[in-house]
Structure 1
Amino acid sequence: MATRQVILPKNRGEAPIPGAVKQKNMVAETKNRRALGDIGNMVAVCGVNGKPLPQVSRPITRSFCAQLLANAQAAASENNKNLMAVNGNVAIVADGALPDKKAALARKLVQKKDVAKSKPEEIIEISPDTDGVRVKEKPPQLNKEKLGENLLDELSSRKQAPTLTSTLTARSQAAYGLSVKQKEDIVDIDAADVNNDLAVVEYVEEMYSYYKSAENESRPPHAYMDSQPEINEKMRAILIDWLIQVHYKFELSPETLYLTINILDRYLSATTASRRELQLVGMSAMLVASKYEEIWAPEVNELVGFSDNTYSNNQVLLMEKRILGKLEWNLTVPTPYVFLVRFIKASMTDSDVENMVYFLAELGMMNYATLMYCPSVIAASAVYAARCTLNKTPLWNETLKKHTGFQEPQLMDCAKLLVSFHSAAAENKLKGIYRKYTSMDRKAVALLPPAKSLLAAN
């Protein structure tokens, strides 16, 4: 950069002195040159590898500075071409051996890399078994190909160790007296049916979740008998006791019986029926349920024969149409039998408990008072009452809680009601169900004493 003359500012109103101005200009020029020399003209410029560049006598302008920088970069790139990548602990040189200084520098870099690789990393470990915190060195990463099977097993077992969060949660629950149930307490009741396609193990839980959500949609109101002018609860019980006998004579499936009672109650809750046609409604309901559930449904004339020809075939078919119209052909409903099958399987007991469960459930279906409970509660209460009757311990376990979704207090009222029906079954005039379950093919469970301890419980 060229020096410029420094012109001092003049005060207003003062005339310039020629000799003084010339002297001041010379002093300012000298100071300005020294300052420019300090900036760059007189200072040695260092190049690549610390070697000073030759002194330049000319001022360093912007273009000249750019030229110097380009020369320095070109020299650096030329030196880099002589060096190759360092592989392991040996530096490979393309144009021959490295100079002494460069070789020493390369060896230092390699040593630094080795130290960085071998230096263990410090990690902080919080042990759940102790209250302290300790710092330990993290071992270097190992090659899995060089590890033996025992070492791999050890590393995998460390990954499965309990976490700090789970340990603290367990301690907190223990401090407040909360017991954590082990997974072994809940038995997988579907494990034996994995290869059975009919058991639909893959989505059986989703099925019963849907049944529980939809059971109240197809449930008849428990007070519908108040709107019936000519029939009452006793007439309904007589009709169902007769239908159970007809069902037993035809050897129909249990699904047909429970669906018949569901269709009967839903139809009577939707319309009024006279006393004369009550039996006709029951016969037609069984005909509809048989066509839905059975492979070979009974013929109309066979049902008419069981009614001592009280009705004609044409009357039965007309009533069948009326029932389907009132129900809007909605026959796929979760009855208590749907839940009984699942809950009996969860009970994991012998055939005596199974027959006792069906005996108590049918007694409950015959009595109008049971309609106040939903189908799943009736089924779970029948299982609970049967286990109480046969003294099965424990009366209610974790497996039953999981698959039924009910605790013991939730089933107590309905279970007591079913046990009271069992107590009065031998003296009741309606003995269709009682005779059915006194036979040996049903293990004569109706003859067993009822669970009076359950009735005495508060």
Structure 2
Amino acid sequence: MVGSDENHPGVIRPTNIQGASQARVGKFAAGKGHNRRALSTIDRNIIRAPPYPCVVNKRGTLSENYGLSNKNPSVPAHRPITRKFATQMARQQQQQLPKESKKPAQPVPVPTESEDYTVVDVDEYKAASDSPAQMFVQYAEAMLNEIDRMDEVEMEDISEEPVLDIDSGDKSNPLAVVEYIDDIYTSYKRVEGSSCVSPNYMAHQFDINGRMRAILIDWLIEVHYKFELMDETLYLTINLLDRFLAVTPVVRKKLQLVGVTAMLLACKYEEVLVPVVEDLIVISSNAYSRKEVLEMEKVMVNTLQFNLSVPTPYVFLRRFLKAAQSDKKLELLSFFIIELCLVEYETLKFPPSLLAAAAVYTAQCTLSGAKRWSQTCERHTNYSEDQLLECARMMVTFHQKAGTGKLTGVHRKYITSKFGCAAKSEPAHFLLEDRFSLGEENVGVVFCATQVSPGISI
């Protein structure tokens, strides 16, 4: 293509542009004989293809930047302009000039380094048609979609509850054995089945029943409280009692002796200062002799094959309370609820870990007034909220009747200020959405037995 007269060397001063970067920062020469190249050849001689897909757009209106009248008011003035689009607009302006006019068009100003400009990716402004309005609308829609997508991702991240590291604060405590704690509770969970008994073992007893067992355990809880024994001792006592009764027939007049002996064995395993045999005989109203207690002790340990190291609900309860980030109030209420379950024969169908998890869940619901089970609790207990509901509803019924009937040992213990008056808490009635889902016998438990303290009478 032959250039027009405007590009004659005598009219236009030769340029010294070595690349696109200099074209961006070039300045206009002033005076005669120092005019820039005509706009008709701007895309060929001045503006060269850059090594990267970006354009330079000076902020301002179309008429300010290019000397054009904005005939399309729908196109925003701050819209980024690509080189291709700027060239097309310049050519359209040149074609509108009279043919006889030989006056060169006004050169396109190039922003200097000191002026404000915006670098925009050209690929983001490709349009399906030549309409500038469509280009802008498509770009705006793409940006809005991207913002919505980022907001959705952000909301999903916020909604996910993180699982807390509950052992991070005990790394400097060697007694916490942080390095092995997960393996320890994995082992507890694996072997807890061996410490469980059949939930209907009373069917094999010919002279005792579940009501008599409840009377005995309610009394043992009072003895445990009077002797100020450790919590671990009580849970191990109940475990030894049930495991022995599950395999050995016992007459009712020896049932209290079995209970006293089970507590003696648990004290020897857990306590530092063990109550002497004479103390246990006195608390039993001298119903048995020292010789009978020691003989029953030998029978019991041989029947249980000296296996006293079993995971009780207590070890799981301690771990689960830590996962729940509990305070003293939640802790005492959880122990109150689970001790109510120790008395009830029907709770034997639940493994110790589920019983402990349900106690924490029920206590949380009781204090907060709503269902509450965090991802951290689910992770460390391995029980979901749905898996705990059956046991939790049963616990609520026990809580409702804790202060009524004849067996009120647990209620009297936890109504004192020493245990935070946990028994005064209002039960979580909202958990009982379907009262008949547990069976009619679980909803209305009636105790017909009588208790004689310090001994018991069956």
Q: 1:418 to 1:184 in 2, by over 3 A?
A: closer
Whether the 8 Å contact between 2:161 and 2:375 is mirrored in structure 1 is: no
> What secondary structure sits across from 2:368 in the alignment?
coil
TM-score (norm 1): 0.60
- Residues in 1 aligned to 2:410 and 2:204: alpha-carbon distance in whole angstroms: 28
- Residues in 2 aligned to 1:183 and 1:342: alpha-carbon distance in whole angstroms: 23
**1:450 — aligned with what?**
427
Q: 2:315 aligns with which of 294, 313, 338?
A: 338
The amino acid of 1:406's aligned partner reads Y
Question: Residue deviations 1:58-92, cap 9 Å, x none?
Answer: xxxxxxxxxxxxxxxxxxxxxxxxxxxxxxxxxxx
**Residues 302-317 of structure 1 aligned to structure 2 (within 5 Å):** 302-317=279-294
**Residues 73-222 of structure 1 aligned to structure 2 (within 5 Å):** 185-222=162-199
**2:119 — aligned with what?**
none
Aligned residues: 284
Q: 2:274 aligns with which of 280, 294, 297?
A: 297
**2:128 — aligned with what?**
none
TM-score (norm 2): 0.60
Question: Residue deviations 1:200-247, cap 9 Å, x none?
Answer: 111000000000000001111111000001101110000000000110
Normalized per residue, the structure richer in helix is: 1
The amino acid of 1:299's aligned partner reads V
> What secondary structure sits across from 2:203 in the alignment?
helix
Q: 2:305 aligns with which of 310, 313, 328?
A: 328
Structure 1 position 349, deviation (Å) = 2.3
**2:402 — aligned with what?**
425
Q: 2:374 aligns with which of 397, 411, 416?
A: 397
Structure 1 unaligned residues grouped into runs of 5+ = 1-170
User: Alignment RMSD, CA only?
Assistant: 1.9
- Residues in 1 aligned to 2:371 and 2:379: alpha-carbon distance in whole angstroms: 15
> What secondary structure sits across from 2:372 in the alignment?
coil
Q: 2:362 aligns with which of 379, 382, 385?
A: 385
The amino acid of 1:449's aligned partner reads E
Structure 1 position 428, deviation (Å) = 2.3
Structure 2 residue 252 is matched with structure 1 residue 272: no
Q: Which is greater in Rg?
A: 1
- Residues in 2 aligned to 1:443 and 1:204: alpha-carbon distance in whole angstroms: 30
**2:448 — aligned with what?**
none
The amino acid of 2:316's aligned partner reads F
Q: 1:251 aligns with which of 213, 216, 228?
A: 228
Q: 1:179 to 1:223 in 2, by over 3 A?
A: farther
Structure 2 residue 215 is matched with structure 1 residue 238: yes
The amino acid of 1:296's aligned partner reads L
Q: 1:372 to 1:303 in 2, by over 3 A?
A: same
Whether the 8 Å contact between 2:365 and 2:371 is mirrored in structure 1 is: no
- Residues in 2 aligned to 1:258 and 1:380: alpha-carbon distance in whole angstroms: 16
> What secondary structure sits across from 2:293 in the alignment?
helix
The amino acid of 1:278's aligned partner reads L
Question: Residue deviations 1:170-225, cap 9 Å, x none?
Answer: x9xx99xx967988611111111111111111100000000000000111111100
Q: 2:388 aligns with which of 392, 399, 411?
A: 411
> What secondary structure sits across from 2:164 in the alignment?
coil
Structure 1 position 449, deviation (Å) = 1.2
Structure 2 unaligned residues grouped into runs of 5+ = 1-148, 438-458
